[in-house]
Structure 1
């Protein structure tokens, strides 16, 4: 359950025509003395409401016409009202017209009734009919419909950020409820109200406290950072700020983004009355590269500016998952910075904090805590999703194991994650097949998020277990078929040499000796060749390079390459080669200009020959 909101006394100032329907026992009201007797004072709350404050419940002496604050203690059977005097040290005044003052959670109980609602405008959307004001209070968001001529902006004097009082009637609309506006007016104590709402929403935004799925010290060091991110995301939802999830389009990236998308959708549904709120507040966007490309940011920014202009939305928060930690991301980040768009990063690629952190709001990465890529983004995001919605825990127990096998994590916790998945009904072969199916689906989806389809593959939010099993079996079988077909044509063209440090080096030109524009892509093809060679050499250190005219994909087992460091060194040593890239210690990629390929390769192989052999970096093949 979300934390309770911050308490402050509300004192109601009733309009002259308010009646008994507008008061409630236990609430506080502004009153005026209309008579003084030996046993107390009579007070008026409105033209239609009066009652007695007994002398035993008075804190001061009063004369006719004096003002005081009273609390309604009792409504007697004959309709008389009994009050006690109150002197709150901190309060705000809310004016009450006829009809009940409600919060965002009270719509269901007031359908067809005249009500009042006070809050902050967080979105203004003009439809072909009414103008829809999304107004939030301390507990949720209410759609308020203002009517003029069809398609004409109602109440044009109000803008996003204004504190308003909405009077109208609660009506059913398109599967939800909305407040149809009779009157929209400013609130006299707007800044006080704004502060109160903000403080209350800060409390609501606090993430749920959870116990990690497994006992793993390497992950524990990151939980505090993840909790901060969970609060940022929950607060963005409450602020009406859209969230755009940018994730690497591979198994780990999907294991990171799909649970988080589902958790945020549930939180949005809990806090917004509009049924389609998650459609405009949340979007998941896969990236083919493991970094945020200029192609991606220009498309995202164009859509965001269009949504702001057409639908009255705030500019979004960008959440980068399984990407976003490297210098390659910074051109895109600088573009977003021109519009003050916040960026949050949760990633496990080797980071460049000096380049990235001045441009992002939050940056979570195991390397920043002395850990490494073995803590995958999917593992971190599973805990992040549970902080947002702990009710998802049962549905997510297998996800960290899928993420770990997809990214070949050698973490000590992998056995614990596999055991957790087994308890949830997934054996290791099931986990392997889910990961293979996700990678296969991601390849064919390209820039499409595959929403619902990939949920069924990962079995998160899937409502049909048979469909999940059939999908995974089909996609995993197709992936294996296509991978074997690729190996049939590539293995015979793979060159071998043994380096001075004893490592076996294999090279394959994936541009000339592999099927193009089909699964598996160059990186996956290189990985498949590498697996074959690791098996062939039965424990000896192996490095595999899959290359094209201007790129190389690297895989290694048993050799501490430190690919990000190698890329950085090559870029410094050969500036004319235009070297860039990165990745993990033993998995990564390099780009360069095609005319310098041989120079880069010679230097790269020389660095590989000098690398240390490390038994702990051997992988368990999928």
Structure 2
């Protein structure tokens, strides 16, 4: 008779009463799904994703399905990764053994009132031994003994005692079970059967350690250190590597340390028992020496650790010095060659090289890279250019095949402002990854965003945690952002002049070629795609030379713009790559046709409902965007107003204003400062709380109750600005 660990009530054969079953989380160590108890919460390990849900391993050989209908969010927004520890509820076990899982809002041990281990023999606290696990200590055999003594050894979660050998082997036979993980010195560890006869002096149990005095052989020579980049040719061999721990994750089996040296990074698996943290004193940033065997694990190179040593003093310093010297040599690009020989971009060479170095250094340091860009055609082109350059470098640096998804993330923004909402999201994710997976804090690369005053608070939040931010924007940066950004690339900083407008896509395409010159040919057409109208001839010519004529460039631009709108918070990595780099013509042409049909339908409706008026010699086209646009369907309001403005403007002083419930957009034929317009409108409508919401897209916000007053104030302010 036991007692409940929560309330102390007497319970029969268990450690938790019926009323507290859902207050305890269980570590399941059984081997049959039939042993699972419905309604209980269990710790599991994410195995993988399917279209209909997530597979979670509850124990070796026992996997359940968490169907997407059980989630409290969209499946594609779930931030679990394979190998993550998670908590789920068992809803039931079907007759065929399939396990149905439910969502748990509690995702940490501390959020439950207790933790128990559930085995086939019963339940016990984590620090208690179960009856089946108790093994009598072995006594050394006398020389005259001929009967083998029974011992057990766990390899993973399988019992390796060979009962047949124990009962059938004649006395005096040399019975030794091989160990699949040899000792680094070359000695073979014995299995679970005590050797007898003449072999007794040369064998030992896996549960004991032979002292130096008992070893008669000369000690093996210290192995040479191998470089991580060469491990692919050493599968099956024992090696020694030295490097810095750049990641730690606990799986349902081994603890996996990602170790990086000056040549690359590799996963090192260290095993104590299923789900138990090996080497708890080793953390991210530590220098280590690993002896082990190189294996191919699901197509990836991995080292099975036989010995992992935490280095300190001169040994640790030597490791870090090698890595630092390699970083210095590899991170800085040799120079910048702007695409199409753009002189405006060339004037920004120093800043672009600094940005390229920061990105390359992050890759070499195994630091995740997060790219933020607006969900526009120009923004997606810029983000895709960086992605095209960075992913091959990540693949070269990391042996793990999915490293490119782990170390590079592109997160589009609905608006070209890096505000507190985006920064809070990013800070939450990076801190979770740091605390849950021991990941390094990422490098943030903001392209086409982050350079205005409206982004200062968001970037400042990142800086509180010492996170590096690199901002690259083709537009002139606001002075307020310069103090909070580590690296800022903006035309104003180089005092670049000229009449032509530089697109962010064109600027970042040259940055991407500096990051990885081997993809330069893949990027040549991107600058032309990034301009919605009036692309510079130099970029048009380069695109044509690369096989992209004007019609093809227009199809790509329109297709990307359409896909940028739908699921705007998703990167759509593979789809965008297919459009920009791999499409033979059918995909872009098909999506582009949809773009034109949807845009023409909306333009026809909007144009019929435009109100025109003249104020101080300036012609205005005013559109009620709430009443005469589909606000939650394509095209987005900024894109619709851009096209409407281009069609109506005839070179005369002209402005288009789209007015919604509590926001409006301004488009003008003159160089009018939206921020100045907002400040003047605030004076004319003092009760409307008028403020600039986005300089890049000409967006102004206000209180909805003062809409009419704000519309009149903005029109007057724009007319004054011409």
* TM-score bracket, shorter-length normalisation: 0.7 to 0.9
Q: Does 1:445 align with 2:557?
A: no
Change (3 A) 1:327 1:569: farther
Q: Distance in 2 between matches of 1:97 and 1:527?
A: 73
**Residue 326 (str. 1) matches residue 452 (str. 2):** yes
1:65 corresponds to: none
184-193 vs 434-443, greater mean Cα deviation: 184-193
Q: Could you tell me which residue of structure 2 aligns to residue 478 of structure 1?
A: 594
Q: Which residue number corresponds to residue 277 of structure 1?
A: 403
Measure the CA separation in 2 of the matches of 1:487 and 1:122: 52
SS in 1 for 2:647: helix
- 1:540 matched to 2:652? The reply is yes
CA distance 1:601–1:349, change in 2 (3 Å):
farther
Q: Secondary structure at the match of 1:100?
A: coil
1:489 and 2:615 matched: no
Equivalent residues in 2 for 1:143-292, closer than 5 Å: 143-187=267-311, 188-189=313-314, 190-292=316-418
Aligned to 1:503: 618
Residue 553 of structure 2 is matched in structure 1 by 431
Using the alignment, how far apart are the partners of 2:298 and 2:713 within structure 1?
64
From 702, 705, 713, give the equivalent of 1:592.
Answer: 702
Shift of residue 430 of structure 1?
Answer: 1.6
- Is the partner of 1:482 in helix, strand or coil? helix
Q: CA deviation at 1:604?
A: 2.4
Q: Which has the higher contact order (CA 8 A, sep 6+)?
A: 1
User: Contact conserved, 2:294 with 2:301, CA < 8 A, in 1?
Assistant: yes
1:601 aligns to 2:716 (yes or no): no
Q: Tell me: CA distance 1:608–1:394, structure 2 relative to 1, closer, same or farther (3 Å).
A: same
Contact 2:475/2:502, CA 8 A, preserved across alignment? no
> Paired residue for 1:560?
671
1:419 to 541, 561, 564: 541
Partner of 2:520: 393
The structure 2 residue matched to 1:359, chosen from 481, 484, 487, is: 484
Q: CA RMSD in A?
A: 2.5
The superposition leaves residues 551-594 of structure 1 with CA deviations (integer Å, 9 ceiling, x where unpaired) of: 1111122x221223333554577664333336568x52211222
- Structure 1 distance, partners of 2:350, 2:290, is 40
**Residues 338 and 520 from structure 1, CA distance in 2 versus in 1: closer, same or farther, beyond 3 angstroms?**
same
Aligned counterparts of 2:349 and 2:232: Cα–Cα separation in 1? 37
Whether contact under 8 Å (1:348, 1:366) holds in the other structure is: yes
Q: Write the distance in 1 (CA, Å) between the matches of 2:506 and 2:686.
A: 37
* CA displacement, residues 48-89 of structure 1 (integer Å, 9 cap, x when unaligned): 99xxxxxxxxxxxxxxxxxxxxxxxxxxxxxxxxxxxxxxxx
From 518, 521, 543, give the equivalent of 2:636.
521
1:307 to 433, 436, 445: 433
- What is the distance in 2 between the residues matched to 1:347 and 1:490? 32
Deviation at 1:240, TM superposition (A): 1.8
> Is the Cα contact below 8 Å between 1:17 and 1:48 reproduced in 2?
no
Aligned to 1:10: none
Tell me by how many angstroms 1:96 deviates: 9.6
CA contact (8 A) 1:350 1:564 kept: no
- TM-score of the pair, normalised by structure 1: 0.77
Paired positions, count: 506
- Residues 190-227 of structure 1 show CA distances to partners (whole Å, capped at 9, x for unaligned) of 22432332122121112253422222221111121111
Q: Which moved more, 1:283-292 or 1:132-141?
A: 132-141
SS at match of 2:291: strand
Structure 2 distance, partners of 1:490, 1:264, is: 42
Whether the 8 Å CA contact 1:350–1:582 is kept in 2: the answer is no
Measured after TM superposition, the shift of residue 455 of structure 1 is 1.4
Task: Indicate conservation of the 8 Å contact 2:474/2:507, yes or no.
Answer: no
Q: Tell me the CA shift for residue 350 of structure 1.
A: 4.2
Distance in 1 (CA, whole Å) between partners of 2:625 and 2:685 is: 24
- Counterparts in 2 of 1:604 and 1:17: CA distance versus 1, 3 Å: closer
Q: Is the 8 A contact 1:208 1:390 kept in 2?
A: no
The 3 A distance-change label for structure 1 pair 229 and 360 is same
91, 107, 123: which one aligns with 2:247: 123
Residues 575 and 134 of structure 1: is their aligned pair in 2 closer, same or farther, counting only changes over 3 Å?
Answer: farther
Q: CA offsets per residue over residues 144-168 of structure 1, 9 Å max, x none?
A: 1111101111111111111111111
The DSSP-based 3-state class of the residue aligned with 1:235 is helix
SS at match of 2:348: helix
> Structure 1's 371 and 595: CA in aligned 2 closer, same or farther, altered over 3 A?
farther
Q: Which residue of 1 aligns with 2:262?
A: 138
Quote how far apart the aligned CAs of 1:365 are. Answer: 1.5
Q: Is this contact kept in 2: 1:132–1:146, CA < 8 A? A: yes
Give the superposition deviation at 1:232.
0.5
Give a deviation string over 1:534-554, Cα, whole Å, max 9, x none.
2xx3x3332111111211111
Determine if contact 1:581/1:589 at 8 Å carries over to the other structure: yes
Partners of 1:576 and 1:285 in 2: CA distance: 36
Partner of 1:67: none
**1:402 Cα shift?**
0.7
SS in 2 for 1:546: strand
Instruction: Render the CA deviation track for 1:338-392: whole Å, top value 9, x for unaligned.
Output: 32222211123442222x2222211112233334782211111111111121111
List per-residue Cα deviations over 1:236-266 (Å, max 9, x = no partner): 1121211111110000101100121121111
Q: Aligned pair in 2 of structure 1 residues 453, 117: CA closer, same or farther (>3 Å)?
A: same
| Whole-angstrom distance in 2 between the partners of 1:289 and 1:105 | 41
> Does 2:589 correspond to 1:455?
no
Structure 2: gaps of 5 or more residues: 1-183, 187-215
Partner of 1:293: 419
**Distance in 2 of aligned mates of 1:552 and 1:224:** 38
Distance change in 2, residues 1:108/1:239 (3 Å):
same
Structure 1 residue 291, shift from structure 2 partner: 0.5
Q: Which of 344, 347, 356 is the equivalent residue of 2:473?
A: 347
